[in-house]
């Protein structure tokens, strides 16, 4: 047992309470099968001594494991890892858990009739299949077999030129050699992790953040430090405090319509985070999948547009505004990192599909792209307005949110004491799928939020789904106010 807990690392300078840090890491060890069913957990005093923490902290963590059905205690003996059979779940409960576990891995399993507010993926009716057919045929007629060979690791040169030209519209001036074509933003995040992170390195993320990024950083053995996000961007005070303690390899941010909160950075915060990155000699990884989808007059400029010091690695996804299955995106990478990034891309998939790169190049060159973006923006704007109107009419006022003005999702806050997983389970019974907020954290314990996206639902279904959710929420937060779900929260025994 002793070596099994060697990997546990707690840090009292982090905003997450120590007992939650310990709970999360024990939970991971159980999920990974390192700690086996019915195996005894280390005695409280011994573990506390070993980690240099108070015994109460260990008690809190063990109690939390018990309350989640992951451990059980035997009087006079100790605490043990639960075996699945010991807490035989109800069939319904099991189904909910499976859904949640799949969501943690970035997938949602949806029945045909379900109204899916959990997914931020556009519906296929929005995909520009007709123009794609015309352009792909043009490429085949023009390039023949050339389109099917291996392509340059960094990407098809004419496409990289078109991307440079496209970026000028956003005040980003770069050379073709700074542009790297990737097979989707997720691959970009993974390649950057591969190129920069060594086991035990520290990475800063906004909290909450995009789950796919957390998983990529964890897979490289990164120590993840969560910095809270506020309505106008990352908490700079906390960031400064943490930068004075750690030296992160990079700070991973989404300055526009952040996933999951929908928040965007103010100009002042953009300026300050760039200054801080420069001062502390670290990079910023800017993940931009939604900046085109502003529904107000203000058209946001990416952080990269202000990057005078070459500290920003810009990752652009086309999945939400084009077709996610094409697996296409690009990065703009500071020169100092170019060769490392090329090596990482090479060992990942050699190069992104040449046929797709050539076809997308024609979208940019023949000015079809701008038309397409405008079409998507109008479609999504309509869904956004329908969504907000329905929410205003149906949700209890005690469920709070901030209209993001763009993007594809809205972040909701439940009143104190109410729980995202409970809302998730109740909605699932009504055929409505939502994303519980707790999925978007690394160690922070927050169960009061959920994210709803209108990307994958048409207007009629948005109205039906939000109405059904409104009934669920009214019943939960109003009629059950006296049940005080907060009483389920852990209170220490000692
Ligand atoms: C913030 C963020 N980054 C990256 C991705 C992955 O995008 P892609 O499909 O381009 O790999 C997603 C997908 O939802 C996302 O929300």
Domain architecture of the chain: domains with CATH? 2-81 (1.10.10.10), 91-118+371-488 (3.90.1150.10), 145-365 (3.40.640.10)
pLDDT in tens, 274-325: 999 999 999 999 999 999 999 998 888 999 999 999 999 999 999 999 999 9
DSSP per position, 83-131:
PTTTT---HHHHHHHHHHHHHHTT-----TT-EE-S--PPPGGGS-HHH
Residue 367 has pLDDT above 70, yes or no: yes
Task: Report the residue among 259, 317, 406, 408 best suited for mutation to probe ligand 1: largest number of ligand atoms under 8 A from its CB.
Answer: 317
pLDDT in tens, 205-229: 999 999 999 999 999 999 999 999 9
Q: Which of 29-33, 91-95, 128-132, 365-369 has the lowest mean pLDDT?
A: 91-95
Ligand 1, atom nearest to 189 Cα: 4
What is the Cα–Cα distance from 395 to 415, expressed in whole angstroms? Answer: 12
Say if CB 289 and CB 317 are below 8 A apart: yes
What confidence score (pLDDT) does residue 234 get? 98
Cis previous bond, 166, omega within 30? no
Closest CA to 24 of 226, 193, 206, 199: 226
Centre of ligand 1 from the C-alpha of residue 222, in Å: 20
In whole numbers, what is the pLDDT of the chain averaged over residues? 90
Instruction: Indicate the angle between helix axes 55-67 and 44-51, nearest 10 degrees.
Output: 120
Report the pLDDT averaged over residues 72-91: 73
Closest CA to 360 of 304, 315, 318, 314: 318
pLDDT in tens, 400-421: 999 999 999 999 999 998 999 9
Residue 91 CB partners (closer than 8 Å, separation 6+): none
Report the pLDDT averaged over residues 327-338: 97
What is the Cα–Cα distance from 21 to 302, expressed in whole angstroms? Answer: 33
Residue 147 CB partners (closer than 8 Å, separation 6+): 139, 140, 354, 355, 358
Coil, strand, or helix at residue 400? strand
Coil, strand, or helix at residue 413? strand
Residue 489 has pLDDT above 60, yes or no: no
Centre of ligand 1 from the C-alpha of residue 94, in Å: 28
pLDDT band at 432 (very low <50, low <70, confident <90, very high): very high
Centre of ligand 1 from the C-alpha of residue 19, in Å: 31
What confidence score (pLDDT) does residue 297 get? 83
Centre of ligand 1 from the C-alpha of residue 349, in Å: 18
N- to C-terminal Cα distance for the chain?
A: 25
Residue 138 CB partners (closer than 8 Å, separation 6+): 362
Say if CB 444 and CB 15 are below 8 A apart: yes
Q: Which of 20-24, 167-171, 201-205, 341-345 has the lowest mean pLDDT?
A: 20-24
Q: What is the dihedral of CA 443, 444, 449, 451, to 10 degrees?
A: -40
- How many other CB atoms sit within 10 Å of the CB of residue 123? 15
Centre of ligand 1 from the C-alpha of residue 185, in Å: 5
Report the pLDDT averaged over residues 473-485: 72
* Residues written for the chain: 494
Distances in Å between the Cα of 249 and the Cα atoms of 34, 197, 246, 311, 372 are 28, 7, 9, 11, 37
Residue 8 has pLDDT above 90, yes or no: no
Name all residues whose Cβ lies below 6 A of ligand 1: 120, 184-186, 210, 212, 254, 259, 287, 289, 317, 319, 324, 329
Indicate the DSSP class of residue 476: I
Task: Report the residue among 208, 210, 254 best suited for mutation to probe ligand 1: largest number of ligand atoms under 8 A from its CB.
Answer: 210
Q: What is the dihedral of CA 22, 28, 30, 32, to 10 degrees?
A: -150
Report the pLDDT averaged over residues 151-161: 97
Centre of ligand 1 from the C-alpha of residue 188, in Å: 10
What confidence score (pLDDT) does residue 488 get? 42
pLDDT band at 472 (very low <50, low <70, confident <90, very high): very high
């Amino acid at each position: 047992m002793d070596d099994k807990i060697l990997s546990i690392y707690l840090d009292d300078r982090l905003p997450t309470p120590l007992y939650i840090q310990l709970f999360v890491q024990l939970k991971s060890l159980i999920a990974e099968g390192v700690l086996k069913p019915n195996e005894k957990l280390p005695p409280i005093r011994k573990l506390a001594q070993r980690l240099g923490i108070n015994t109460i902290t260990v008690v809190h963590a063990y109690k939390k494991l018990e309350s989640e059905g992951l451990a059980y205690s035997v009087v006079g003996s100790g605490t043990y890892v639960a075996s699945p059979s010991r807490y035989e779940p109800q069939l319904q409960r099991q189904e909910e858990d499976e859904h949640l576990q799949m969501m943690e891995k970035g997938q949602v399993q949806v029945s045909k009739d379900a109204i899916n507010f959990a997914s931020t993926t556009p519906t296929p009716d929005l995909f520009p299949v007709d123009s794609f057919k015309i352009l792909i045929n043009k490429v085949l007629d023009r390039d023949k077999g050339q389109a099917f060979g291996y392509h340059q690791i960094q990407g098809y040169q004419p496409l990289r030129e078109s991307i440079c030209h496209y970026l000028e519209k956003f005040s980003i001036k770069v050379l073709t050699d700074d542009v790297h074509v990737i097979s989707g933003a997720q691959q970009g995040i993974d390649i950057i992790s591969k190129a920069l992170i060594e086991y035990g390195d520290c990475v800063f993320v906004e909290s909450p953040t995009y789950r796919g990024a957390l998983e990529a950083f964890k897979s490289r053995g990164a120590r993840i430090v969560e910095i809270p996000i506020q309505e106008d961007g990352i908490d700079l005070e906390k960031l400064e405090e943490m930068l004075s303690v750690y030296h992160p390899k990079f700070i991973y941010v989404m300055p526009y319509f952040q996933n999951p909160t929908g928040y965007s950075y103010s100009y002042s915060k953009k300026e300050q985070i760039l200054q801080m990155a420069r001062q502390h000699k670290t990079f910023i990884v800017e993940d931009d999948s939604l900046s085109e989808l502003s529904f107000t007059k203000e058209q946001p400029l990416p952080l990269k547009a202000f990057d005078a010091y070459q500290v920003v690695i810009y990752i652009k996804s086309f999945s939400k505004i084009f077709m996610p299955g094409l697996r296409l995106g690009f990065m703009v990478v500071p020169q100092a990192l170019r060769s490392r990034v090329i090596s990482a891309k090479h060992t990942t998939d050699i190069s992104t599909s040449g046929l797709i790169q050539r076809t997308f190049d024609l979208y940019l060159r023949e000015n079809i792209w701008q038309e397409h973006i405008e079409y998507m923006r109008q479609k999504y704007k309509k869904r956004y307005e329908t969504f907000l109107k329905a929410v205003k009419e149906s949700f209890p006022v005690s469920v709070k949110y901030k209209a993001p003005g763009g993007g594809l999702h809205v972040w909701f806050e439940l009143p104190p004491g109410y729980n995202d997983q409970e809302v998730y389970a109740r909605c699932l019974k009504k055929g409505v799928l939502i994303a519980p907020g707790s999925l978007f954290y690394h160690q922070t314990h927050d169960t009061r939020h959920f994210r709803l996206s209108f990307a994958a639902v048409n207007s009629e279904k948005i109205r039906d789904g939000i109405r059904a959710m409104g009934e669920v929420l009214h019943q939960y937060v109003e009629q059950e106010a006296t049940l005080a779900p907060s009483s389920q929260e852990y209170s220490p025994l000692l």
